[in-house]
Every structure is written in C-alpha cells, then in structure tokens.
Structure 1
Amino acid sequence: MTRIHPSAIVDPKAELDSSVEVGPYSIIGPHVRIDAGTVVGPHVVIEGHTTIGRDNKFFQFSSIGAAPQDKKWNGEPTRLEIGNGNTIREFVTFNLGTVQDKGVTRLGDDNWISAYVHLAHDCQVGSHTIFSNNAQLAGHVEVGDWAILSGYCGVHQFCKIGAHAFIGMYTSLTQDVPPFVMVAGNPAAAKGINVEGLKRRGFTREQIDGIRAAYKSIYRAGLTLEEAKAVLEEQEAASLEAAPHVRAMRGFLDAAARGIVR
C-alpha cells in the first residue's frame, strides 16, 4: 500500500495489484479491479464495475467508469473493461455500458487516448488506436484496431469504424467507415485509403494495391453496393496476399447497418 498516496481514497473492497500506483486525491471505488504496473495519476476518479489491465497510465482529472449518460440507465451493475498498455490523458471520460446493449464498454490494448476524449456507454474500441484531443464517441460505437480519430471529430451512436480507418479533424460522422478508408468533412466524405498508415504497419505493395482496387470499386466505379460486393469477391480471388483485407472490406459492407460514408 506504500504506492498509494496518503490523500487518495481507495475503497477497501477495491482489488489493486501491489504494484499499482495511485496519485494524490484520486478516488477508487469498491467494484474496481486494477492489474499490475498500472499508474493512476492525481485527481482521477475510477468507479463502477470497472476492470483495468496491466501497465496502463491514467493522467490527471480522468473520469473512468461513471454512470452512462443515458436516461434509460437505472443503476444496473453494468461494466467497463480496459485492457493493457493504454495511455489515457487528461479529462478523459469513459462510461459504463447499459443493459440495452452488451452491458459493457470496452477498450482494448495499447491505445493512445488524448485529452478530453469521450467513450460513451457500450462503445467497443479495439487495440492500437489513436484518439486525438476531443474525439467524441456517442453510445454503441465500434472502432476497429489501428483506427485513428483526429481532433474534434464526433461519431454518431451505433456507427462502426473499420480497422486501419482514418477520421479527419472536425469530421461529423453519421455512417459507417469501412476498413482502411480515410474520411473527412461535415458531412463526412471518403478521401482515399490510409496508405501511410498501412506502410508504417508493414503492408506490402501487393496488399495496398489490392485494398486500393477494392476502394475504387466501392467509391469510384459508379457501382451500387451490391454490385461492388460482387466485384470485391472477384478481386479477393485474384490476389492471395490481398485477399484477407479485401474480404474484410466486403464483410464490413454486409454488416453496415447504418450504410457507409460514400
């Protein structure tokens, strides 16, 4: 307990690994579990049924595990789950889930969450994402691995953002964004594929060319979505190396309940 500052308030029922550090004036509630190596900075509030993994870093004034901002919530014991190795900067707010959905809000591993980011109830965020300052998710949003959300972008409830997608600054997003696609503007519009991000993550030229061809079929060929999906199936068969990524784009189109930014 020597790693907990004397001014911090940690409920006796909270489960903290002995290596967890808690800074001055932070508050940790009775249903919180925190794994090894996590550092909770000063003036952080962690409450609710919240589980936090290893080696996370919470900066000052974060609010983690507070009640959902949803009038239907009636005190049910819903959850927040945070993985390993995340950096969570100042004034971030993560809310619990609701029984109207999965009952849990999730954040994966190795995410960089900048200041003033909001994850509303029931959001499902993958791993290796970057959220720039003031990126805001409404309830029930899903964000795939390696996605990047630029500053001040806002995402409408129930939207899905695919893996490796890039959302530009100040974007107002009300429809789904397929994997690898860059969107920007208000209303949002597709601007190409996230080539620089893919290169940095080791995608080969053949893989990038296959993703680019699939993007053109969806956005530049004048096809309906059903026609584009048929073309993507052919493109998937044409390149073994690009096939998993083209398949991911085609599968995303099948599951896009809100329609895609187009």
Structure 2
Amino acid sequence: MSNVIACIDGSSAMSAVVESAAWASAQLTAPLTLLHVIEEGHAAARQDMTGHIGLGSRERLLEELAELDAQKGKLLLEHGHQLLDEAKRQVLANSKVTDVAMRQRHGALVESLLALAAETRLLVMGVHGEDHGAGSHIGSQLETVLRRVHKPILLTPDKFTAPNSVMLAYDGSASTKKAIELLAKSPLFAGMPVHVVMVGADSDSNNAALDWAREALQQGGHQVETAIVAGDVEPALHQYQDQHQIGMMVMGAYGHSKIRQFLVGSTTTAMIEASKTPLLILR
C-alpha cells in the first residue's frame, strides 16, 4: 500500500508537518511513514590543515579528524532518532493513526525521495526547511523537490489547521482537468465544499471550462462553487481564499517548456511563499 511520507527535520514547521501528515493519513486510510534524511551537507567540510607540518603530526591530526567525523555522524544519527521518536509520539497522542513507521536515510533529500517514489502516495513537507527560519522565502531544497519528485506534495506553513473546504486554482488546461478528476474521487477531501477559481476573462470558453469542472466534482459528491477573478494570479487567488475562508489550496506545479517553466514556476513559488494555509501541489 502506498504511504503518506512526512519529511521530518529540526525546522520550525516540524510539528505542523506531523499534524498535517497524520490528518492526511487518516483521510486516505493510508500508512504513515516519518522520514528523516541525514544529508552530506550537514557534515562540516574538512579543512586541509596538514600543510607544512611534520609527518607524525599530520598522521595524528588526520586520526583526530576521522574520530571527530565519526562522533559527528553518531550525533546526527541519534538526533534523527530523537526527532522521529518525538514525531511518532505526537502522531499517536493526537490522532487516530496507529500505522506509523520511521525511516532514516543518509544522502541527498531529493535522491532519497526519488528512491521512495514507488511507495509514496502523498509527500508532506514544511514550507520552511531546517536551514530556513520562518519567513517569506521557501526552504532551499523545496523548489528542487517540486521539480523532480512527481508525486502530490502537501506543503504546510508553521501552523496546521485541518481544512473544512478546498480551493482549486484552475485554468482549463489538460493538467488542471486531471487535477479536477483526482480531487473529485480523492478521500483526502471527502465531503468538503470545493471552490474552483480561474484568473482571467469572464468569457464563454472559461465559463464552459468551469461548467465541466462543476459537473465532474458534483458527480464526486462535492458541493461546488466556481468563480472567475481578475488580476495577478497570486494576489487574486489568495484574496478569494481569504474572503471565503478556504482551508487549503490545490494547484499544479512547474511546466515543461522553458517559457511555461519560467512563468508557471514563478507563480508556484509566489503562491507557496504567500500562503498562510496548507497547499497541495499536483504534478
């Protein structure tokens, strides 16, 4: 069975990641895996301090450096175990989820996630990573993950509130039509009202696209609201979300052509940086 995989680190968003992953696991009736990755970048680069010292001193220094590396590796491993243990306690104490696994891997985060892709149903991450304090900018590795990991990714700010409604940023394209079909049948949003919002002109073609989306979602048992709003994409969508107090936004990520990748990628990043609620990114 595919898992909800929560990326655990020492960031300010860790508790929110655990909460959102537990919520998603319960909604999907899917096992939850807590993942901590020890990256090579966490180890300080070794400086060449052997320069012009004698052979005996150089050998002794290299031995001491090797011992320090080993000690640091043990500390990072123990720190990871503590983070995972705490995250599991939080899940078991505050949710109905009981199927919780813990995994710790060494290497690059993206490569670890790609290695687990076959068993991933949903990936959960914090907007701000361990090396990024809370603020307006997204975590340093998040953009790379969004581009390379082709799985749904649930991003959470530093505080998580379970949503009672959801909003899809829609443009009538084939990819967003696929998102409508996924949303219509996904237990993640079972019983929730769904808002489908387009940014653009109030044209016949856009209204026809919204009519199709409304019908598809209603067949999935959802109460549906549709809207066309004017303005720049990010502020227009977030203004609508704020006005209607919508708990989660769903949108597509980066495109493939260089032009679309630049435009859509910039929009995606802007949406993530400005979001105050969880954001589900679909590929």
* TM-score bucket of the superposed structures, by smaller chain: under 0.3
The structure in which a higher percent of residues are helix is 2
TM-score normalised to the size of structure 1? 0.25
Q: Could you say which structure has the greater relative contact order, defined with CA pairs below 8 angstroms and 6 or more residues apart? A: 2
TM-score normalised to the size of structure 2? 0.24
The structure in which a higher percent of residues are strand is 1
